[in-house]
């Protein structure tokens, strides 16, 4: 089991969330504990499970401060298939990512730009369009 402690931004006051990740069979299970609450998600990879959890947290006014919640971070198919979505690339419109752009989704850095799941997906789709030009 992998365990992370991440800053939780929003709500009445900022805090922390404890995230526990565990593969069970073909699914990646994630439990997020924050305050007196806990939520569970399961998906084909951890990035997808994180996005599902973020959608629920967004309804409560919360964001998780990590690369997995950053506007310009998204996993490649290989990151999802081979690494269970625990790593993703920092993307720049019109530019192919390099290995140096690879980050751990539950880590944080000075270049994290918090975004909603919708904003992150829209940025990824814009990046995809820029790659086809």
pLDDT in tens, 45-93: 999 999 999 999 999 999 999 999 999 999 999 999 999 999 999 999 9
Structure tokens at 15: 């805090």
pLDDT of residue 133: 55
Q: Report pTM.
A: 0.94
Mean local confidence (pLDDT), 115-128: 97
Q: pLDDT-based confidence at 14, cuts 50/70/90?
A: confident
Statement: residue 30 has pLDDT above 60: yes
Sign of the CA dihedral running 123, 124, 129, 133: positive
């Amino acid at each position: 089991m992998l365990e992370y402690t991440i800053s939780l931004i929003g709500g009445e006051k900022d805090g922390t969330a404890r995230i526990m990740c565990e593969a069970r069979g073909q699914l990646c299970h994630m439990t997020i504990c924050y305050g007196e609450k806990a939520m569970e998600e399961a998906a084909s990879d951890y990035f997808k499970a994180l996005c599902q959890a973020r959608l629920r947290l967004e309804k409560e006014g919360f964001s998780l401060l990590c690369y997995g919640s950053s506007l310009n971070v998204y996993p490649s198919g290989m990151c999802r298939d081979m690494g269970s979505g625990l790593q993703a690339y920092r993307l720049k419109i019109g530019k192919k990512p390099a290995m140096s752009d690879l980050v751990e989704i539950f880590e944080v850095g000075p270049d994290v730009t918090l975004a909603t799941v919708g904003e992150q997906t829209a940025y990824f789709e814009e990046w995809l369009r820029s790659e086809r030009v």
